[in-house]
Amino acid sequence: MDLIYKPFPWYLSGFLIGLVMLLLIYMGKNFGMSSNLRTLCSVFGAGKYSDFFKFNWKAQRWNLMVVLGAMIGGFITVHFLSDGSGVNINPETIAQLSELHIDAPEGKLLPDAVFGMENAFTVKGLLILLAGGFLVGFGSRYAGGCTSGHAISGISNLQLPSLIAVIGFFLGGLLMAHFILPFIF
Amino acid sequence: MKYIKFLLVGIFFGIVLTKSEAVSWYRIYEMFHFQSFHMYGIIMVAIFTGLIGIQLFKRRGIKNTEGQKIQIADKDKGVTRYLAGGILFGLGWALAGACPGPMYILLGAGFWSMGIVILGALSGTFVYGLLKNKLPH
């Protein structure tokens, strides 16, 4: 029963994520989530503005199906496969966050201070979410992949460029978490 | 019908990523503050699983469901694009607390403000497409 309603331990999670990647490779595809952003730009007609978006996006429909599935999976888990006892982060982290006026998880996946509707739709809240998304979108295309494409797929295929990208992910992440977030919140 | 299997893989992926809490803003913050092993454990086991699987595919010459021998293209060589792009990505990852997979998953789970993050991610991708030829790679 724990497996149904409780969070997965890290070793099970990691194993199953690795399995998803292997499954996609076995189906003749690849594990890459950020490339869907490029596909969606093409679907919305970005090919008129840059050749980067002029490609046969219909060949990527399978990946959009993965995205649709992932959304359904998220819905199923939050509504039917959790008992609200998760996100047991380090108490030290909670104390640190409270200094930044960010609410403790108490079972929530996301802090209200960032994602709650009353905060997300202030000018500051909107800018934070847009900027975070923008950097992820721009950075992942510039680097040619995100966590799935570089950190999991690339490194497990022993690709040096992916290791460099992941070092970049952490340099940027550490910079944000330690030196920029305290000034934002 | 041929897309059903991808939908199913996606559903499985969405469930796993949510159950693992890798979609949680809190887990990403905690990871970048080295206050838990959780995310590092997930990433390392995922890589290890993938590594073993890919080696098995390659060494046994296993064919994919399309009937072709499994081959994975090498990433283009280089440093600048990976490091610069990686750093920008990391800044966004720690700010929004979500990489692309979790963005979709969380929107599906009903966290509507994640739609703003996705809108940002689409604009970031679009602007990259516009500037691509002017950036060092």
Any idea where the domains of chain A sit in the sequence?
A: 1-30, 31-82, 116-185
Q: How far does the CA of residue A56 sit from the closest CA of chain B (Å)? A: 16
pLDDT tens for each residue of A136-149: 999 999 999 999 99
Greatest CA span in chain B, whole angstroms?
46
pLDDT surpasses 70 at B89 = yes
Task: Choose the closest CB to A135 out of B91, B116, B118.
Answer: B91
Question: Residue B21 and residue B44: Cα distance in Å, rounded?
Answer: 15
> What letter would DSSP give residue B63?
B
Torsions phi, psi for A88 (to 5 deg): -85, 80
Question: Residue A132 and residue B93: Cα distance in Å, rounded?
Answer: 7
pLDDT, average across residues B95-122: 97
Portion 6-35 of B in contact with A at CB < 8 A: 6-33, 35
> What's the distance, CA A73 to chain centroid?
14
Best of A5, A60, A66, A127 to mutate (most B CBs within 10 Å, chain B): A66
Q: Are B25 and A109 in contact (CB under 8 A)?
A: yes
Task: Choose the closest CB to B86 out of A15, A87, A164.
Answer: A164
Amino acid at position A71, single letter:
M
Strand extents, DSSP E, chain B = none
Name residues of chain A where pLDDT drops below 70: 1
Structure tokens at A75: 């819905």
Rounded alpha-carbon distances, angstroms, from residue A92 to A84, A176, B38: 21, 19, 15
- Check CB contact of B115 with chain A, cutoff 8 Å: no
- Check CB contact of B60 with chain A, cutoff 8 Å: no
